[in-house]
Structures are given as C-alpha cells and as structure tokens.
Chain A
Amino acid sequence: GAVVSQHPSRVICKSGTSVKIECRSLDFQATTMFWYRQFPKQSLMLMATSNEGSKATYEQGVEKDKFLINHASLTLSTLTVTSAHPEDSSFYICSARPGTGVKAFFGQGTRLTVV
C-alpha cells in the first residue's frame, strides 16, 4: 500500500534556530501534500497545502514566513519552522493522497520541542 515517510520523528532545538521536516511519498507521486499541526489532546489542524512546483497555500492564521514549505519534487515536501520559539513546540504531521477521491496517508509525525 501507499506509504508516506516523515523525518525526523522527534527533534529538540534551541529557541531562535530553524528546523526542517521532510515528508516523502515512497511509492506514489503526490502533486499535493498537506501539513497539519496537532496540540496535545486536540485534533489535526491543517496548516497549509503544499503544491509541487508552485507556492504553498496557507490556512488562515498560519504565518507563511514562519512555516516555509517547499515542494520541489513529486515525492518530497519540506516544512521549515524558522526562528523557532517554545510556542512552536507541537506535533507536526504530513499527509498525501495518491489521487483525488482516495484515502489520505499520513507520515509518522514529528514531535518538535523548542527549548
């Protein structure tokens, strides 16, 4: 079955530094990938839609300069949290769908802790 791989699974960084999270579709091409954020005991909140070869589409309230998204190939999207602060600490998950109207597959998630 389709697999989405996300890396790293866990990262701890110092306040003010930047962190890059990778999301790869391993056996299908994904022109679109999605980045979610999840706070403890809360549901998935869509941050942005990553579009291959073009700019990402950000949800209302999500700072595009803070959460940089690059989707340079059909199998890889990256999310960079720039100048991270403790309030950016969260669980970030990516997902991709092999096509329209089919189920979405999720990466393993990345737990970011900013100290």
Chain B
Amino acid sequence: EDKVVQSPLSLVVHEGDTVTLNCSYEVTNFRSLLWYKQEKKAPTFLFMLTSSGIEKKSGRLSSILDKKELFSILNITATQTGDSAVYLCAVDTGTASKLTFGTGTRLQVTL
C-alpha cells in the first residue's frame, strides 16, 4: 500500500523564524511529488518535484527531493502570519494520475 508521511503534524513558530517541513514516502511507482498549501478551502499548488537534488524556489519557499532516501523537505524562511496553513505533500504514483496525500503539517505563525 502506498504511504506518504509528513512531520511534524503541527508546528507553532514566531514570525521571522525559518521552518522545515518533512515528507517521506513509500510507493510502488513514483512519478512526482507535489506540495500544496491549504488555508480554509481548496489546496493551492506550491511545487512539483520530479528529480533529486534540484531545488525549486518561489520567494521565501523552497523545496527539494531526495529520491534515494525517499523524502522531500519544504523550507519557509522569514515566516509571516500569512504562512499559517496546512501544508500537504502528495505523491503521484502514475496510477490513473491519482495523488496520494500525506497527513499534512499544520503550521501556525504567531507575532
């Protein structure tokens, strides 16, 4: 059974801190790994990673994939209160294009 595990489950930091969110996976067939941010409603796309060692960056957010060790990290630097959300990691196993989601990490950024 395909499995995606995220850690920590929840995290509280102060504005300005840097955080690292983890995602590990065990799947029979790997095509890509995706990160999403979910605030109140639908998840919004952050990154899609397919190759090991290539960092994807967007502003204060960055992510990298390690296909040998089967994990990915999402970094957020200089956090802001607007970063408070649930961050979801999902793996595309190529099976009918469906995504298997991790449990999510709930991030709260306080003033």
Contact (A93, B106) CB under 8 Å given A32-B96, A101-B32, A104-B34:
no
A44 touches B92 (CB 8 A): no
Residue of A nearest to B36 (CB): A106
Contacts of B90 in A (CB 8 A): 44, 104
Per-residue interface assignment for chain B, residues 78 to 89, with 1 indicating a CB less than 8 Å from any chain A CB and 0 otherwise: 000000000010
Residue in contact with B103 in the complex, picked from A32, A42, A95, A100, CB distance below 8 Å: A42
Complex interface: chain A residues within 8 A of B101 (CB): 36, 43-46
Known A43-B88, A44-B88; contact A105-B45, beta-carbon cutoff 8 A: yes
What A residues does B14 contact at CB under 8 A? Answer: none
Min CB–CB distance A22 → chain B (angstroms):
15
Determine the chain A residues whose CB is within 8 A of the CB of B104 once the complex forms.
42-43
Q: Is B8 an interface residue (CB 8 A)?
A: no
Query: Quick one: CB contact mask for A90-115 with B, threshold 8 Å, 1 for yes?
Result: 00010101001111111111000000
| Given A41-B106, A49-B98, A57-B96, residue A103 in contact with residue B34 (CB < 8 A) | yes
A34 contacts partner chain B, Cβ-Cβ < 8 Å: yes
A100→B43 CA distance, assembly (Å): 19
Closest 8 CB pairs of A and B: A106-B42, A43-B104, A44-B101, A109-B41, A43-B103, A43-B101, A103-B45, A109-B42
Residues of A within 8 A of B (CB): 6, 9, 32, 34, 36, 41-46, 49, 57, 93, 95, 97, 100-109
Contact residues of B with A, CB < 8 Å?
31-32, 34, 36, 41-45, 48, 88, 90, 92, 94, 96-104, 106
